[in-house]
Amino acid sequence: MNTRIPLIMIGMLGLTAFSAAQDTETASLVTWLCSSPVVAQDPQTSQALKIQVGTATHEDVTRLLGKPWRANNDADCDATQYGEVWEYLGADGGGRPFRIHVAFGKDGKVSLVARIPQRGKALVLAYAADAADGEHHH
């Protein structure tokens, strides 16, 4: 029984260190996104980073980004299953085009914000996991 206490303490210290490492990694990602040259040179992406995923509504997004270039519903099997997707056109400091992609959940709240260049990899700026609907059934 006396050996269990030190083992429990070591386990707790390990979990604390792991948790601190996770927080540091997240903080450094946020710092990188907010200080990235892409954001500094691109006002549209900077505005998109202000969208509060999980709480922002259509009105909030319109206030930040204006009227979308295109709005559609990408539901593949049931048009009421997913909310709308709004897209905005933009260009970075070098004139390379991109889209800001804002997806809304069925509840009308923003669930995903991404920056999609014409060529290259998409950058997810923010997203909210849908805890209520774990799976999609066809």
- Our CA angle for 117, 62, 81, nearest 5°, is 75
- Distance in angstroms (rounded) separating the CA atoms of residues 30 and 36: 10
Residue type, 77: C
Tell me: pLDDT of 7 over 60: no
- Distance in angstroms (rounded) separating the CA atoms of residues 136 and 77: 10
What pLDDT does 38 receive? 46
What torsion, rounded to 10 degrees, do the Cα atoms 65, 112, 45, 28 define? 140
Place of tokens 């049931």: 78
pTM exceeds cut of 0.75: no
Residue 76 vs residue 137, higher pLDDT = 76
pLDDT digits (tens, 9 = 90+) for 58-77: 999 999 999 999 999 865 65
What pLDDT does 60 receive? 98
Q: Beta strands of the chain (E only): which ranges? A: 70-72, 85-91, 97-104, 110-117, 123-127
Tell me: pLDDT of 55 over 90: yes
- Distance in angstroms (rounded) separating the CA atoms of residues 67 and 21: 40
